[in-house]
Amino acid sequence: MFGRKRKLDDFTSEIDEHLQLEIERLREQGLSADEARAGGHRAFGNVTLSRERSYESRRWLWWDHFWHDIRYGLRALLRERGVSALCVLILALGIGASTALYSVWKSALVFPYAFESNGRWVAVLAGFNR
């Protein structure tokens, strides 16, 4: 998985060599050039599928797709600059509002009395005699 991988060009040249060997073998059997080429491709199978499988086996496809998505998103943002600026503004306002509300929630409800001697409470009861 982490070892050195073969390049796609190496695999493509190897496929081409196998096809040429099969075509030459069929030519030696007496087939014409076109028939030998068609027979070689039939014997080898789907060349494009083999190349795709080789490509997929060499990569982490999720990483490859992630970078394609990032590049596409950046191109889309650069294409429509007004919409991009509006999106950034809305995100900034949303993040700022969320931060402000969280700060109020934390200071008012979670840690409402943050002072040194919060263990000593004094209750003032007006009008009650005990």
C-beta separation of 71 from 77 below 8 A: no
Could you tell me what percent of the chain has a pLDDT over 70? 78
Structural domain including 80 reads 60-115
Q: What phi and psi values does residue 58 have, to the nearest 5 degrees?
A: -90, -10
Do residues 1 and 55 both lie within one domain?
A: yes
The phi and psi torsions of 45 (rounded to 5 degrees) equal: 105, -160
Q: What is the mean pLDDT of residues 20-39?
A: 88
Residues 77 and 94 in one domain: yes
Instruction: Read off the pTM.
Output: 0.38
Say how many domains are in the chain.
2
Tokens for 93, please give them.
């306002």
Q: What is the pLDDT of residues 84-130, one digit of tens each?
A: 999 999 999 999 999 999 998 888 877 766 666 656 666 666 665 55
121, part of any domain: no
Would you say residue 91 lies in a domain? yes
Long-range contacts of 97-103, Cβ-Cβ distance < 8 Å, separation of 24 or more: none
Q: Are residues 47 and 99 in the same domain?
A: no
Question: Average pLDDT of the chain?
Answer: 81
In a domain, 129, yes or no: no
Residue 115 DSSP symbol? S
